[in-house]
Chains A and B, each alone.
Chain A
Amino acid sequence: MRLFLPFCILNLAVETSRFVQTDQGGIILRWLKTYVEKCINCGKCMETCSKTYFKEENPSLSRVVVTNPGAGQNISVCNQCGACMAVCPTEALYRDKNGVVQLDKSKCTSCLMCVGFCPTGNMLYAASKQTEPFKCVACGLCAKVCPTQALVLVND
């Protein structure tokens, strides 16, 4: 009864690190690398992303966010750092075998703490679509349609 599990803290430290140990022992991390200097602000990536996951062409529902507020081109997308995993109360956020941070909706309480604690502002939400937040799952579809290779899916 009420036995303390000394490893939980250790686990946590591993979980939040940018790198994951795979079964094979190698370290991989799949993520979307951005080259903002190549971006021509065409919006293709956002169309594709929102269409794929929300069946709607709507940049505010895209997980990759390209903006040009006048001050210059900007691309914002999750870098799979794992900070959100550490704050999730139900362990709904986990790293899959490719090192991508994924959300298990069945465990998610829609508290949006992960949104508030994402250091780069890339955990997103839209009440009109679903109560749970959403994020880049490193599928790479946006990279495929990007005409200038401003987005590249990498495994490193």
Chain B
Amino acid sequence: MEKMKVIAEWTYTPAPIERGYTRKTLYVNVGEPRMEIKDVSQDMIDTFTGGRGFDLKLLWDAVKDTTKWNDPENEIVLSGGPLCGITQYPGAGKCYAAFISPLSGQTYDSNSGGYWGPLSKFSGFDAVEVQGKAEKDIILFINGDEGKIQILESNLKDLNAYAVTETLHEYFAVDEADKRNISVISTGKAAETSYYGCMNMSFYDPRRKVARLKQAGRGGGGSIMRDKKIAAMVVKFSKIGGNLNNVVDLDTLQRVGVKLHKEIHDLDDVQCKMRKVGTAHLNEIMDEYHLLPTNNYKFGQNAAEISKIHSAVYERLFTQGMPDGCWYGCSMSCAKAVDGFTVQTGPCKGEKVTVDGPEYETVAALGSNIGVYDPLWTIEANFYADHYGMDTISLGTAIAFVCECYELGLITKKDTNGLELNFGSKDDIMELIHRMADGKDEFASMVAKGIRYMKKAFAEKFKADAKTMEAIGMEGQGVETSEYVPKESIAQWGGYYLTLKGPQHDEAWLIFMDMVNKQLPTFEDKAEALHYFPNFRTWFSLVGLCKLPWNDVEPANNRIVNEPKEAAKVPEHVQNYVDIFNAVTGKGIRKEDLITMSEKVYNFQRVFQVRMKQGEANHNIPLRALGPVFPDEWEARREYYDGKLREIGIDPSALSTEEKIKKLQEYRLGMWEGLKMAVYKRRGWNKKGIPTVETLKRLGIDYPDVVAVVEKYSKPEDNFD
């Protein structure tokens, strides 16, 4: 590629890393352009820890109460956290991104593997803030080797992810061996129209000799990149070593890391098989337990078709025996890939490519949930979603909604501009995906903006019935639901819809605990779980870790030495986290402190949502998430659902199916309200879900501007007595 023109350039001296922190953050305004290196205060470390905590703190200071996702002051903030970049413990290369989301109008945080997190820290920065809007397409380049920041005028011909990533690994590397010292954040053409544009973060795979893409998929970060006219962000750092974080106790770090490597080596094959199939090991399990979303979450099972997407099928498609960690040292190695895949449609037709994934979520989203049981089609859809820069989960759930609207006659072939979008209409759905990237087709652009947008647009433009769409559109807070059927687990209603940012699965996954194990019988039990797990899982995002090695493998004696409820927390692994955190930072935290560290950021983020939503940061749940909406859903599990009515003292025998559905809905809506109040109370919030001033004080986040938001929107009558 020809040399790119330098629009702006600054030099700096990379700060040394001490105990996991550089204590500097980088601010770049791509519009003005301007660069600034900010200090990280001790208070910022004590309160926000790092990663997503730093992201949110910097974002809070950068935006106004009225900032919209496409205002220039919105930022993409990226940070790994103090443990990010250690190589000894599996899953320590995560990068967390935060921004005001186009889908929800409030903060969203999303994480990704790939090398961006570690390399940007090694280049001297605990976090990178990107603000402003460029006039022409630019590339932001952080050169940690030379201490140089550049804004370059992009001369990329193809803005789609695989092309951008490969070209830039090539462009910035001096030779083949140098390619692994680079990480590229890219998105794609669809992110220019979509609200769920994803960010792809790369790492170079020296065996396959291709750049691999991992996604900070959710929430629309890629859409913001394109709104800012950022074609890519690139970081380069070459002197990778075993202790760049300058940890205080390498000995412990090595010992604990090796212990987990051994555990994974010994047990993964008989436990989750992450090394062989990644998260796709869940496909048939979810089906068996009625949790695999099928036809827009109408059903949780498809006995006739499941064998086609069984994990064994994917195991054969994934190349086996490769080290597939998304950062050095991840022996969980779940970043599976399909090699030598021949693309069948679209602009890359006929090319042989390496496709990253699909993971379980994608298998369901761009598979069972849209009525498709064809792994090769799903792999192709996965390839194009990444390439065009779209989140596979929002994409799949949005298309599932479209298919149901189409089958119900709410929208017609005329509205879709000629596409027949029944469940399982593979060819037309693929065409729809291509049209989203093309950006010219009005209908495709509507789908690309997500369910909340479509509900309004379909009603206005196509006179589609708003009430039906409300019931079946699987979004919460504007964000599409990820791929588990939550209907039969009350706790999971909360796990999805009482979250900070919408129904993703990274806060709490309580379905087995609640629905199968029956370990959470009361509202209080559920509320406790909806306090503990979201906060525990938040901790990963503060320090730069991946969640999977926590509970996708467990010590052989986990279930022997721990009683059932404790066993679910995998106590030995929790202790590992305490040990490695102390080994890196030299702090002396205990396991209880993990929750408090998280609670600070969790509650701060909740106040942030209240601020951005002017007091109306509401938790909504679609009826489809609570139970059957149409008779065929009820009839598919008639005995089960009739039993559910009997459990609550209603005799189903005299009722029509419609009446039964109505009764169950009424009951469950009541349960939802009960759950919501129990959870708000346990979290130290008021009845509107606003953290109380006492909660802020207890957690030491009673900064004047935070208290001001709480006071502005809290009313005395909303307090719990």
Contact = CB atoms under 8 A, between A and B. Distances in A.
Note whether A and B contact each other (Cβ less than 8 A): yes
Interface of A: 1-6, 8-9, 11-13, 86-91, 108-113, 115-117, 125, 127-128, 131-132
A127 B86 CA distance: 14
Q: Is the interface of B mostly helix, strand, loop or mixed?
A: mixed
Contact of B208 (A1, A5, A87, A125): A5
23 contacts: A1-B351, A2-B210, A4-B339, A4-B353, A5-B208, A6-B339, A11-B207, A12-B207, A12-B321, A86-B323, A88-B323, A89-B206, A89-B328, A108-B242, A109-B240, A109-B241, A110-B87, A110-B88, A116-B260, A116-B262, A117-B261, A125-B254, A127-B253
Nearest to A8: B207
Contact of B87 (A2, A13, A109): A109
B319 interface: yes
B209 A112 contact: no
B323 A87 contact: yes
Contacts of A91: 206-207
In the A-B complex, the 8 residue pairs with the closest CB atoms: A116-B261, A110-B242, A131-B242, A111-B329, A127-B251, A111-B87, A4-B340, A109-B328
Q: Is the interface of A mostly helix, strand, loop or mixed?
A: loop
Contacts of B341: 4
A1 B208 CA distance: 13
A90 B328 contact: yes
A1 B166 contact: yes
Contact of A86 (B87, B167, B321): B321
A131 B323 contact: no
A16 to B, nearest CB: 8
Interface in B335-350: 339-341
A103 to B, nearest CB: 12
B322 interface: yes
Contact of A2 (B264, B322, B328, B354): B354
Contact of A112 (B210, B258, B354): B258
B265 A117 contact: yes
Nearest to A119: B265
Contacts of B241: 109-110, 131
B250 interface: yes
B354 A90 contact: no
B254 A113 contact: no
A58 to B, nearest CB: 15
A6 B251 CA distance: 40
A130 to B, nearest CB: 8
B243 interface: yes
> Which range contains the number of B residues in contact with the other chain?
35 or more
Given A113-B261, A116-B258, 20 more contacts: A1-B167, A2-B354, A4-B352, A4-B354, A6-B339, A8-B322, A9-B339, A12-B207, A12-B322, A90-B206, A91-B207, A108-B242, A109-B87, A109-B329, A110-B241, A110-B243, A115-B258, A116-B265, A128-B251, A132-B242
Contacts of A3: 210, 352
Interface string B230-247: 000000000011110000
Contacts of A9: 319, 321-322, 339
Interface in B195-253: 206-211, 240-243, 250-251, 253
A43 to B, nearest CB: 24
Nearest to B208: A8
Interface in B375-391: none
A127 B339 CA distance: 38
A145 B386 CA distance: 60
A4 B208 contact: yes
B291 to A, nearest CB: 32
Contacts of B319: 9
B627 interface: no
A2 B240 contact: no
B258 A125 contact: yes
Contacts of A13: 321
A112 B340 contact: no
A2 B353 contact: yes
B257 interface: yes
A93 B325 CA distance: 17
Interface in B101-158: none
Contacts of B331: 87, 113, 116-117
A115 B241 CA distance: 17
Contacts of B261: 112-113, 115-117
Contact of B209 (A8, A109, A116, A117): A8
Q: Name, among B210, B254, B264, the residue most crowded by chain A CB atoms within 10 Å (CB to CB).
A: B254
Contact of B323 (A1, A113, A127): A113
Interface in B303-333: 319, 321-323, 325, 328-329, 331
B87 A1 contact: no
A2 to B, nearest CB: 5
Nearest to B88: A112
Nearest to B342: A4
Nearest to A89: B323
Contacts of A132: 242
A116 to B, nearest CB: 2
B583 to A, nearest CB: 10
A116 B210 CA distance: 27
A86 B322 CA distance: 7
B180 interface: yes
A123 B469 CA distance: 59
Contacts of B260: 116
Contacts of A89: 206, 323, 325, 328-329
A128 B252 CA distance: 11
Given A2-B162, A116-B261, A128-B251, A111 B88 contact: yes
B163 interface: yes
A125 B87 CA distance: 14
A5 B329 contact: no
B329 A90 contact: no
Contacts of A2: 162, 166, 210-211, 351, 353-354
Nearest to B210: A2
Contacts of B206: 89-91
Contacts of B211: 2
Contacts of B339: 4, 6, 8-9
B118 to A, nearest CB: 10
A111 B207 contact: no
